[in-house]
Amino acid sequence: MRHLTTLFTVLLPVSLVSIGCGSTNTPTGPTEPAPVQVTETFSGTLTVNGGRTHTFAVDRAGTVTAQLTTLSDGAATVGLSLGTWNGVACQVVIANDAAVLSSGITGTAQATGQFCVRLYDVGALTAAVDYSVDVTHF
């Protein structure tokens, strides 16, 4: 009986290991979820000689766009820019100093972080204008 117990003690672990080794499935790693595009709408009033800055957080590197969707004076020309937010000011990276209704700018966020969109009078406003700008990012 002792010989049978020793044989069982040796064969049981060997058989369990061989059961686990018989798989032909290739292990795969976890898949990363698809990036989700976010659109944020910012609005306000831009005064003569004024500027307005709106901040937003980018959670994933990728394309960032800003499009001027509303201007209460459809013939107005304003400045529209995208940049990085340092906690105090918007450091402009890309700008359009002749933006009109439906104008847009596109840039690339190389990393996650705080970014900003800025609208400003380029010297062309004669009265305050209400605006909306859509910012799309990941």
Residue 136, H or E segment: strand 129-137
Residue 6 has pLDDT above 90, yes or no: no
Backbone angles phi and psi of 47, in degrees to 5: -95, 165
Q: What pLDDT, in 10s, does the model give residues 92-134?
A: 999 999 999 999 999 999 999 999 999 999 999 999 999 999 9
Sheet hosting strand 51-58, strand order edge to edge? 51-58, 113-120, 78-85, 90-99
Position 21 confidence tier, pLDDT thresholds 50, 70, 90: low
pTM for the model: 0.77
Which domains, ranges and CATH numbers included, belong to the chain? 38-137 (2.60.120.380)
**Measured over all CA atoms, what is the biggest interatomic distance in the chain, rounded to whole angstroms?**
105
The answer to whether 79 touches 95, Cβ cutoff 8 Å, is: yes
Sheet hosting strand 129-137, strand order edge to edge? 38-46, 129-137, 62-71, 104-109
Q: What pLDDT, in 10s, does the model give residues 66-75?
A: 999 999 999 9
Cβ count within 10 A of residue 52: 18
